[in-house]
């Protein structure tokens, strides 16, 4: 017997319902009809109830509607959510408040148990300070109560089979102009590069203003540098190159000592011309301007007088002397020994990567030990002076006697000559030139170069 029409209609609607869902969660199959490829299995196929429910959930209901229902279930359920990914991660963290993200746990460990610092790390920890430049760092003081601005401790550097620097150590204090001298290949440029963090020493350490040096160290912002020769962008003007170099400091233009630096460079209207048209001397003066425009506390200059005429060299010498009197420390390397003798207050001589000597220039030149004595009979005077105690060398030359007598006053020399009946015309102190001292200290080392 046929069923009534109303009963058949209700049965059809019941077949369209999804098992396991409430009436308000049902969806109309006639609007969202699944494709043939995902159609539910035929009713006569014998499969388990759980498989029937899975097919109905994923094939009869649109994915967006299913996702919305799952989100509703997630917010309303305290149990395990039905979705995966981010929602699943949030639900698990909601279930267990003690579980946190691994990065958060690592941050908590660092905050709760900070790693103890060693004594050395506590004294040299590079932290930024906003105090005045002269009071920014706690630096070491030398025996004469001046601040140690540059320090090299047992620096060594090897390039392949060549030992460029061997356990080199020296210090430059505030107010000093120290000349780093040595023949070609002695290791001067390698030493300067290690002092600036441009090269990493194999052993030893370098410090500037009491801070350990590395590439990009904050303390390098207080250092004026001229090393490896001028390096500019050719198509930019002189001013454009200075602005480009200054931009690396991330400070506002202009630099504090720009006017004084440009006056020293003396480029005039050429500062607004492209650098590719500059001569060698003009490029060198522009490089000096970029080193001096920041009003540095420390200057490290490699051959600063290259390409400068005598008047420009004298101007540079006077400017560096003024900076040293204001408390800056200057380390300069040069082969122009006559100019260095007029500029430097201290000398560091190195050869074959080793330190030969270091100290004040007057002490190295022996100003208080050497005398030129004009006498009537140089030959007899030489014999008399040789018999005196404390005499190092005696040389007769052009009617005078040159005597090196460490610790012996000139009046004792004159007394010995007059007692021997030798007439003395004049006596004055005679210092050796820096060139003589330098050649005396470095001669003979070339034969040991293979070692």
DSSP string for residues in 133-164: GGGSS---B-TTS-BEEEEEEEEEEEETTEEE
Model pTM greater than 0.95? no
Q: Are residues 259 and 377 in the same domain?
A: no
pLDDT at 78: 47
Q: Are residues 301 and 406 in the same domain?
A: no
Q: Are residues 201 and 346 in the same domain?
A: yes
Is 317 a domain residue? yes
Order of strands, sheet of 424-429, starting from the edge strand that comes earlier in the sequence = 393-397, 400-404, 370-375, 424-429
Q: Are residues 321 and 231 in the same domain?
A: yes
Query: Domains in the chain: how many in total?
Result: 2
pLDDT at 352: 92
Residue 274 belongs to domain spanning: 148-363
Q: Are residues 226 and 308 in the same domain?
A: yes
Q: Using the 3D structure, point to which of 313, 331, 363 is the last residue of a domain.
A: 363
Is 443 a domain residue? no
Helix (H) or strand (E) holding 357: strand 354-360
Q: Are residues 329 and 353 in the same domain?
A: yes
Q: Are residues 308 and 399 in the same domain?
A: no
393-397 and 424-429 beta bridge pairing: unpaired
Is 2 a domain residue? no
CB 304 within 8 A of CB 401: no
What are the two backbone dihedrals, phi and then psi, of residue 100, each rounded to the nearest 5 degrees? -130, 175
Reading the chain (451 residues) residue by residue, the pLDDT tens digits are 455 544 444 554 555 555 555 555 555 444 444 444 445 555 555 545 555 555 554 455 566 666 777 766 665 554 444 444 444 444 444 444 445 555 445 444 444 444 443 333 333 333 334 344 444 444 555 544 568 999 999 999 999 999 999 999 999 999 999 999 999 999 999 999 999 999 999 999 999 999 999 888 889 889 999 987 777 899 999 999 999 989 888 888 999 999 999 998 988 889 999 999 999 889 999 999 999 998 999 999 999 988 888 999 999 999 999 999 999 999 999 999 989 999 999 999 999 999 999 999 887 886 567 788 889 888 899 889 988 888 888 888 778 888 888 778 888 888 899 999 998 988 887 767 888 888 888 875 554 443 4
Q: What is the DSSP letter of 4?
A: P
Q: How far apart are CA 29 and CA 17, in angstroms?
A: 8
Comparing CA positions, the residue from 117, 120, 176 lying closest to residue 153 is 120
Q: Bridge partners of 375?
A: 424
CATH number (domain holding residue 419):
3.30.70.100
pLDDT at 77: 54
Helix axes 258-265, 280-292, angle to 10 degrees: 160
CB 298 within 8 A of CB 162: no
Is 223 a domain residue? yes
CB 58 within 8 A of CB 67: no
Comparing CA positions, the residue from 344, 348, 312, 341 lying closest to residue 330 is 344
Is 103 a domain residue? no
Is 209 a domain residue? yes
**Per the structure block, which two tokens stand in for 83?**
């979705």
CATH number (domain holding residue 293):
3.40.50.300
Q: Are residues 317 and 408 in the same domain?
A: no
DSSP string, 158-186: EETTEEEEEEEEEEEETT-EEEEE--TTS
In sequence order, what are the residues at sequence separation of 6 or more whose Cβ sits closer than 8 angstroms to the Cβ of residue 125? 117
CB 403 within 8 A of CB 390: no
CB 438 within 8 A of CB 349: yes
DSSP string, 326-355: TT-EEEEE-S-HHHHHHH-SEEEEEETTEE
Helix (H) or strand (E) holding 371: strand 370-375
Q: Using the 3D structure, point to which of 337, 363, 389 is the last residue of a domain.
A: 363
Q: Are residues 252 and 225 in the same domain?
A: yes
Q: How far apart are CA 436 and CA 148, in angstroms?
A: 29
Q: Using the 3D structure, point to which of 315, 337, 363 is the last residue of a domain.
A: 363
Q: Are residues 290 and 413 in the same domain?
A: no
Is 450 a domain residue? no
Is 62 a domain residue? no
Q: Bridge partners of 179?
A: 332, 347
Q: Are residues 321 and 379 in the same domain?
A: no
In sequence order, what are the residues at sequence separation of 6 or more whose Cβ sits closer than 8 angstroms to the Cβ of residue 80? 91
Helix axes 86-95, 63-76, angle to 10 degrees: 10
pLDDT at 450: 39
DSSP string, 70-133: HHHHHHH-SS--S--THHHHHHHHHH-TT---HHHHHHHHHHHSPPPPPHHHHHH------S-G
CB 277 within 8 A of CB 241: no
Q: Are residues 282 and 387 in the same domain?
A: no
């Amino acid at each position: 017997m046929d069923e009534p029409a109303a009963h058949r209609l209700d049965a059809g609607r019941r077949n369209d319902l999804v098992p396991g869902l409430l009436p308000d969660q049902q969806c109309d199959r006639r609007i969202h009809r699944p494709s043939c490829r995902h159609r539910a299995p035929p009713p006569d196929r014998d499969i388990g109830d759980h498989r029937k429910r899975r097919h109905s959930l994923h094939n009869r209901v649109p994915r967006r509607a299913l996702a919305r229902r799952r989100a509703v279930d997630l917010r309303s359920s305290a149990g395990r959510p039905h979705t995966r990914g981010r929602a699943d991660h949030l639900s698990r963290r909601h279930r267990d408040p003690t579980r946190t993200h691994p990065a958060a746990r690592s941050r908590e460990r660092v905050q709760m148990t900070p790693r103890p610092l060693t004594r050395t790390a506590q004294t040299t920890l590079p932290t930024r300070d906003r105090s005045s430049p002269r009071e920014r760092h706690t630096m070491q003081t030398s025996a004469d109560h001046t601040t140690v601005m540059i320090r090299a401790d047992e620096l060594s550097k090897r390039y392949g089979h060549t030992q460029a620097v061997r356990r080199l150590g020296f210090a430059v204090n505030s107010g000093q102009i120290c000349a780093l001298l040595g023949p070609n290949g002695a290791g001067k440029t390698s030493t300067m590069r290690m002092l600036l963090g441009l090269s990493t020493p194999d052993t030893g350490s370098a410090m500037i203003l009491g801070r350990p040096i590395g590439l990009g160290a904050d303390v390098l912002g207080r250092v004026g540098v001229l090393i490896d020769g001028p390096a500019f962008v050719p198509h930019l003007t002189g001013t454009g190159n200075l602005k480009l170099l200054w931009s690396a400091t991330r400070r506002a233009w202009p630099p504090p000592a720009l006017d004084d630096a440009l006056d020293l460079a003396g480029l005039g209207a050429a500062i607004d011309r492209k650098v590719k048209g500059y001569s060698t001397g003009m490029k060198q003066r522009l490089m000096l301007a970029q080193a001096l425009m920041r009003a540095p506390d420390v200057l490290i200059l490699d051959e600063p007088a290259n390409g400068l005429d005598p008047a420009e060299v004298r101007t540079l010498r006077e400017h560096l002397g003024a900076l040293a009197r204001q408390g800056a420390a200057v380390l300069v390397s040069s082969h122009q020994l006559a100019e260095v003798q007029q500029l430097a207050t201290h000398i560091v001589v190195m050869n074959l990567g080793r330190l030969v000597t270091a100290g004040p220039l007057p002490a190295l030149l022996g100003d208080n030990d050497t005398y030129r004595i004009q006498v009537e009979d140089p030959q007899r005077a030489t014999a008399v002076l040789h018999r005196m105690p404390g005499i190092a060398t005696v040389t007769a030359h052009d009617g005078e006697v040159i005597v090196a007598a460490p610790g012996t006053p000139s009046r004792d020399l004159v007394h010995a000559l007059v007692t021997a009946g030798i007439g003395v015309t004049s006596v004055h102190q005679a210092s050796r030139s820096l060139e003589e001292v330098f050649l005396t200290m470095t001669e003979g080392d070339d034969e040991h170069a293979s070692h």
